Structure formats: structure tokens, C-alpha cells
Amino acid sequence: MTSEAPTDRPEYVSADASPARRFTGLAVFLVVTGIVGFGASFELIVEEIKTLMNPAFVPSCNISVLVACGPNMASWQGSLFGFPNPIIGVACFAIVAVVGVSILAGARFARWYWMLFNLGIVLALVFVIWLMSQSIFVLGTLCPYCMVVWVVVIALFWYVTAFNLKEGNIPVSAAVRSIAALFYPFLWLLVLVSYLIVFVIAQLRLDVIQSLINS
């Protein structure tokens, strides 16, 4: 005597049966900023290699006495860890872009992953602030490709940090999560204010506007 297998066998249901949220806007933002930062860092590496191969080579980013990347690349600040800083940028911005692509593909990351990712961006911001201070107050030059990196890292910091706060990836109170969610659509204002602060500091120290007029 044989028994037929039941056709309505129940399927396994995971503990978290809620559909995965797709953070498409953040994903696209990470892809775009990752590609832009990668491109700027890669171009700096190319310019430095050409300079090493031909000491008479003039980098394409040397626009004027003030706006130039040559002095930055030749300084010790440009190779803080014993190798050109843009190598760090190429590696890190590639990670940013990959995270964005992964989210678009449906990947879901654990809280610890988001926290580490955010920590990396915070460290990148600290490094960029130090580079800005060296460029403006010590070297007295503004490297175009470096400034692209500054712009990208500042924007990444605000958006990724606010995202992790509102989503609870960073352990904070419900009030902080609510505030982050409330201000998230208006973060572009904070980003613009951050850019304005950097510009004002550079203007007061280097008189950027007058230098550009004279050039």
C-alpha cells in the first residue's frame, strides 16, 4: 500500500517575512559619487605617473598659480602614508560604487556592515578636512581633482550618516531617528552650507576670486 505525498506541503517562511526595502535613491547616489570620486582619484594617479616619467610634464590640472595639483602631488602631504593619496581614493570610492550597485541588485546589509561603512566615510571626511587645511593654509593651492574628492566625501558623509540614523543602523534613540528622517529630504542644504564654509575659508585665506580674475 502506497501513500501519495501531499501536494499542499507548507513552505518554509523566514522569521523576517517582510519584503526587502529598496533604497534606490541612496543606491544611485552611492554609484554616482563613487564613480566621480574614483575618476578624480584615478586622474590624479595618471597625472602623477606622467610627471614621474617626464619631469618637464605640466599636469592638465595646473591652471594657475592658485589652482594647480602639481604642488600638492609633490608635497609630503600628497603621500602621507608613503604612497600617493589618490591610491586610497581609487580603492575606497570603488567600494562606495559597489555598495550602491549591490543595493540596486537587491542586496541587504547587516547593521554592523552599515556601521563599518559609515565609519569608513567618517574617517574619509577627517582625512579630507586635514587635506583641505594643508592645501589652503600650508601649500596655498587648490587642486581641482582634490576639490572634486572634497565635494564627494562631504556629500557622502551627510547622506550616509543621516540614512543610517533614520534607519536605525546606528543605535540611537527614536527621537534622533525621527529628527534624521525629518531632515533627510533637506540634507542638500547642509551639503551646500558645508561647501560654502570651505569656499569662505579659502577666499579669506587665498583670495580665490581675485586670483581667478587675474588669471
Decide if 2 is inside a domain. Answer: no
**Cell output for 184:** 533627510
Decide if 186 is inside a domain. Answer: yes
d(CA 34, CA 32) in angstroms, rounded, equals 5
Q: Which residue has the higher pLDDT, 213 or 95?
A: 95
Confidence grade of residue 215 (pLDDT, cut at 50, 70, 90) = low
What are the b/e assignments for 120-145, b being 16+ CB within 10 Å?
ebeebbebbeebbebbbeebebbbbb
Residues in the chain: 215
Decide if 19 is inside a domain. Answer: no
Model pLDDT, residue 55 = 85
Cβ contacts of 169 within 8 Å, gap of 6 or more: 111, 114, 115, 118, 163
Contact (Cβ atoms closer than 8 angstroms) between residue 146 and residue 59: no
Average pLDDT, the chain: 89
Model pLDDT, residue 212 = 73
Beta-ladder partners of 67? 142
DSSP at 141: -
How many percent of the chain have pLDDT more than 70?
90
Decide if 17 is inside a domain. Answer: no
Distances (CA, A) of 3 to 6, 8, 10: 9, 14, 18
Contact (Cβ atoms closer than 8 angstroms) between residue 29 and residue 159: yes
* Range 80-87 average pLDDT: 94
Number of domains making up the chain: 1
Decide if 146 is inside a domain. Answer: yes
For residue range 150-161, list pLDDT tens digits in order: 999 999 999 999
The parent domain of residue 76 ranges over 24-214
Decide if 203 is inside a domain. Answer: yes
Model pLDDT, residue 88 = 96
Model pLDDT, residue 11 = 42
CATH number of the domain where residue 49 is located: 1.20.1440
For residue range 106-138, list pLDDT tens digits in order: 999 999 999 999 999 999 999 999 999 999 999
For residue range 33-68, list pLDDT tens digits in order: 999 999 999 999 999 999 989 988 888 889 888 999
Decide if 18 is inside a domain. Answer: no
Decide if 115 is inside a domain. Answer: yes
**Cell output for 43:** 586622474
Q: What sign results for the dihedral spanned by CA atoms 161, 165, 168, 172?
A: positive
For residue range 10-33, list pLDDT tens digits in order: 443 333 434 456 799 999 999 999
